[in-house]
Structure 1
Amino acid sequence: MEQIRNGVSADLLSDVTWRKSKYSGAVGNCVEVATLKSGEIAVRNSRFPSGPALVYTREEIAAFLAGAKDGEFDDVL
């Protein structure tokens, strides 16, 4: 299985389905995620759909989401 590196061009991930939050704005200021065949999660900026895409393990995404839900990142707004 090919290992995907962080900062890869999102164009190389053409066989995945990107999705974004229903809370995203209509002007292209969105974070999009896609599940890779390996189970890892790719993240990209919708304003730059060709990349780069950052790739995280499911555990890394789970830790980030748990922190976000718990308010750990509220100070960055």
Structure 2
Amino acid sequence: MNLYGDAIKALRQVILLDERVRTTSLDLARIGQEVADLRDRVSRLEGILAAMMARPPQAATARERRRLPGPPDQAS
């Protein structure tokens, strides 16, 4: 009877290991998809930053345009 008990115990462990492998496989696929999504988001952000850095500086803000010029320097 001990031989049958060992065989059943081994089969149970194989079944549990198979389930773990399946679960791990699904987790790995999900993580891979999340990494791909993050890579796409980072690429878009890099594109936005590159476009902003390539732009010429914008004109003064509306508040700076409304400000009156200061008195001229009076150097003698």
The two structures have a TM-score, normalised by structure 2, of 0.22
Larger radius of gyration: 2
Q: More helix per residue: 1 or 2?
A: 2
The two structures have a TM-score, normalised by structure 1, of 0.22
